[in-house]
Amino acid sequence: MAHSMTPPVTHPSGPAAGAHSIRDLLQTAPTAELWNRAVDLFASGRPVIVTTQTTTALVYGACTITTSQMAELIRRSSGFVQVALPEQRCDDLLLPEAAPTNRDRFRPGFGQCVTADAATGITTGISAEDRAHTARVLCAPTTTVNDLTRPGHVVPVRADLAPTQNTSRFPLATAVLTLTRQALPVPGAVYADLVSERDPFHSIQLDEVRRVADQLHAVLIPI
């Protein structure tokens, strides 16, 4: 499938198009057309913005993320970079949950594992280049336990894959992981919570989210 180098921005259609707040936006589930557009963007290396009841995250494919994309993610977010991976993959890499007593899957910390870095190919682990490399290593099917060091600067998140494209009943990590399963050879999603440039002490507002989506040619999906 051919992909445009600068795809048009896609915002939610229907009732959500007239949303004035993130709360309004969440009243409408993503359409099949919007979901498929997000899959196409992932396949072409573009980001997706996913908003939930608790957060709005900028998302890239873990296997394909570049240094410049990671730098963009860090610059626009809290800097707390997470990588959603299939739960079995986390087991294979000996990445246990950091807080196994938190069993509410809709809590932001659900499924977060001990932090990790790539064992080779990085310096301190904190730079955009290092974290992009670690994300790709986490996602790579050839990675083994010894290819990672713990603790590190990237947060793996254990997630299940949703059985359908209707991810409105699933946590953020499950939704973004499911997107990548349909778009990339290996499932894995890098994401971080967007922060408001206008008022860093408060959550990002819908007008800012839409501006970021315009600037990055990203699809905005409510779940």
* pLDDT score recorded for residue 170: 72
- The torsion angle over the Cα atoms of residues 214, 25, 106 and 79, rounded to 10 degrees, is 30
pLDDT on residue 26: 45
Q: Helices 67-76 & 128-139, crossing angle to 10 degrees?
A: 110
What SS3 state is found at 221? strand
Is residue 131 a contact partner of residue 63, using CB atoms and an 8 Å limit? no
Query: Residue 127 and residue 81: Cα distance in Å, rounded?
Result: 12
If you search the block for the tokens 């359908």, which residue do you land on? 164
| Closest CA relative to residue 128, chosen from 175, 76, 179, 181 | 76
Q: What is the pLDDT of residue 94?
A: 95
Task: Say what the pLDDT of residue 162 is.
Answer: 66
Looking at the DSSP assignment, which residues form a beta bridge with residue 159? Answer: 86
Judge contact between 25 and 222, C-beta under 8 A: yes
3-state helix, strand, coil in the chain (%, to 5): 35, 20, 45
| Number of Cβ within a 10 Å radius of residue 198 | 11
Residue 16 has what pLDDT?
A: 47
CB 11, CB 220: distance < 8 Å: yes
- Note the pTM of the prediction, 2 decimals: 0.84
Domains in the chain, ordered, with CATH? 22-222 (3.90.870.10)
Query: Residue 132 and residue 216: Cα distance in Å, rounded?
Result: 18
> Across the 223 residues of the chain, what is the mean pLDDT of every consecutive 10-residue run?
41 47 50 83 89 89 96 95 95 88 58 95 98 97 97 94 62 89 92 92 86 91 84
3-state secondary structure of 114: coil
Find residue 10's DSSP bridge partners: 219
Task: Tell me phi and psi for residue 171, to 5 degrees.
Answer: -65, 165
